[in-house]
Structure 1
Amino acid sequence: MRPMTNMRLGTGMRGGTASGRGGNLRMKTGAVPGTSAGTQAAFLPQHNISVSDRPVTGQGIAGMKASVGPGRQVQDSSFYIGLLNGKITDITKEIRKIKADMDTMQRDAGQYNQLERKYESLLKEVRNLEGTLADYNLAMDKLRTSTDPQEVTAYQANLEARNRNEAAEIDKVFLMKEQRNQGTQELEMQIGQVHQQAEAKIKQLEPAKLREYEELIQRSQGLHQEGQMREQELDKMRHKIHELEAIVRGSGMREEYNAEERKVQRLRKDVAVLEEDMGIAQMDPKDAHARLLDKVKEDNRKTTELESRCKEIDAEMRKCKRQHQELQTDLEDREKGNVNKNDSHKYELLFQRDAEMSEFLQNYDSQRDETLKDQEATKQTIVALLEHISSGIGSSEEMPSAERLEEMKDEVSFKTKQLETSQQTMARLQQQRAKRIQEMQKINTLDQKIGIELEQLNGKMVSMKDEMKGFEDIEGLRGRATFTKDELEKLREKYIARRGAIKQQVAGLSAQVDATKKTLSMNETSKNLTSLELKLRHYEQNIFVMKEYVETKGRETDFESLKTDVMKMCGNLNEKAVEIA
């Protein structure tokens, strides 16, 4: 077939042009002469093909892309089955991901329990090492202060006597315990006899009453078993709660919860401030002015309290920094091998702080109970204030008229002035009364004071006269003074001689002490003590870090406040839903 025979002209093609001459078709872009590309160009279907989709352009050699249609026109059951299968696949993947996260959380919880057990064992070891270190420190303290061995022996004897007394007390307590156990056994035997007598009496009852008694016994046993089952279920629930809390502690959801809770609290404060501002804006100018003055005074008071609190915290920080500097200096001196003379004082301070911490831990329960009582009293006060506010709101509906209000204000101002005048008069009269009472007391005690002073003066006169008799013997006074002077000179010479001897003894003892210190520095026990101190410092640091971690996680898992707020919000929403319904 000839190229142009029975061929319909394409859009935009003119007859008689080069494209219409037989055998001389114009080559399209990318068409090689002699191929069928030029012959098929005229009857290809017209499509909206963008330039970027052309096969050979600046985009490179690429095949023509498939056109994107309007989508599936018929949505039959297979379409929905495919869609459902895709969703099921996504859900399955999400479930696997959640299970993997749960496995990770459980492993973390197991690791946490292992670390907690390890922490307890290390804490016991640290306490044992602290006791050993305290003994070593006491021995070193006695050695540094050159304590007399007799004093150490006396101290040891005192400790032995105290231990014997404590052992005797323990034995006494043990004997008392045995006596109590014997008394308990006797009481149990008596109780058993009473039960036997009761059973004998019960067997003598009538058949109806006996049957009723047996039914009550069976019911009591059933209730006891049910109570045990409930306790077991409660233990299981507690165990499950502990596991869930451990899982929550290991996840990062608690941090998000704390952040959201802080955000909610901040928004609530903003809402409260805005409500207060709206209330002030709706009040009368005088009342609003008074309210603003009260608010400014309250803000000033809070600012003053915060400033005082900041000063206290600054003082505490300075104190802590000073203590830290002292401890740092002490550690540096120990690392250099220098031992200060104030080590004993520092050890005493450390023991004192340890005692204070122990006392705080012992009194923690009582302090917590007092705090809970204060919180309960505060809650009751808040409830009373809310009742008072509600009663005030109810009475505000019966407000007087404007004229009556002005009359009441004038009456209040008049009575206030009268009250101030009366209070001033009363205060002045009370001051005068107190002054007169003091004068009367002075007058009543004046006679007694005069008599006492006369007796004292007479006694002084007698003693002075006796002393004057002694001063009349001048020669005797001189002789006694000379004798006293000679005795003092003898004592002075004696003490000078003793001082020289003591200096020689001190020099010898100092040489012995230096030699002992040198020997001690080369001893293995001293080196072991140093290594034990380093280990103890490392353990203390680990304990502190773990305590901080435990406290942080404990604060993160405190969800009671948010739970209460959510319950309140749910109650309010339920009430509103009931009202709307």
Structure 2
Amino acid sequence: MSKRPTTGMRVGTSYGRAGTARLKTGMRTGTARLGTGRMGTARMGTGRLGTAAMGGGIGGALNTQVTVGERPMTQHGLGGTRPKTQGPGRMVMDESYFLGALRAKSTELTEEINKLQKELEQLQRDHTSYTTYEKKAEALAKEIQALSGQLADLNALANNLNDNVDIDDVRADVDEIRARNDRDAAEVDNIFSDRNRVESRIKEIEAEIESEKRRTENIVTEMEPDQRREYDALHEEAETLQKTIETQQSSLDELTAAADALQRELEANPVKREAAALLDQIAALRSKHAKVKEQTEKEALLSPEKLKEQLLAQVKADNQEISGMERKIANVQQRINEISSDVADLDAAEDEEDDEKRQKYLQLVKHEQEMDTFLLSFDSTYDEPKPGPF
């Protein structure tokens, strides 16, 4: 193994390329300049013995002829490119680098935590102050309410003094107000008692419902598979029926609302109200006609004796009804006569302002007579003899 030369004895590194060997710093040759460019960039080495030149000895490297290589032409001539004024920064990220970065982040976190802690303390102080102010505001509100009551009493007293109200009247008012307050207090107590009683009852019912639910769940759990399937089917059917009931109830509510609206509209319009009354009468007559027709069909199947008995009973009932109708007709006729007399009096007065009202009155009388005529014709039609089997 060859002995390593000392630092002062190392020659430039050589890899077999001409012009790359470097001498020590003190052994650099002069660099001749040509125009604006330097003659060459080859420098003698710092003296370190290269790997390729270890076996050739020191003299071989020193005797190597130095030649200047061709420098590439740039846009600035032979001046060459400028080296960077600043390096790429720290390239090796060792333990100290990461420790420094961690300390910086830890410092930032500590500062932020301290800042948030200060804000939290400030918010707590503000909350405490707000609570204190709120209590003070409530106390002041109560005091203001009490003072307002006293002020109202003093104002009432001043008004009574200004009006020279007797002290007995004031005492009577006070007694009346006290009695009313006592009644109101008793009513409030009753309402409060009723509410407590209702709430207690509701809690009892809820407890009973929960107990029934648990009992039902236990029963369902203990069911046989067939019974469980039947129970599930019935449960689904019950849910379906419940949904159907809710849908029908909603439809019923809508129809009820529409009927109420139509009823209000009918009440607001006299013509529609009268038409509705006539429709009701027609419906009643049709129902009566259907009953008579059904009765006639039944009578056709009866024997003559039974039919005769029924007809006699029907005649008696009809006679009673006719008597009642005749009394009603007499009353109506009397009312018509009275109205006719009033109409005659109105005709004698003959005032222009009441002419329109009189015409409407006459129309109403005429309409009432038509209704009476219709009822009489209906009764006569109803009383016509019906063909029987005998």
Query: Taking structure 1 as the reference length, what is the TM-score of the superposition?
Result: 0.21
Tell me which of the two structures has the higher relative contact order, counting C-alpha pairs closer than 8 angstroms and 6 or more residues apart.
Answer: 1
Higher share of residues assigned helix: 1
Specify the structure having the higher radius of gyration (Cα).
Answer: 2
Give the TM-score normalised by structure 2: 0.29
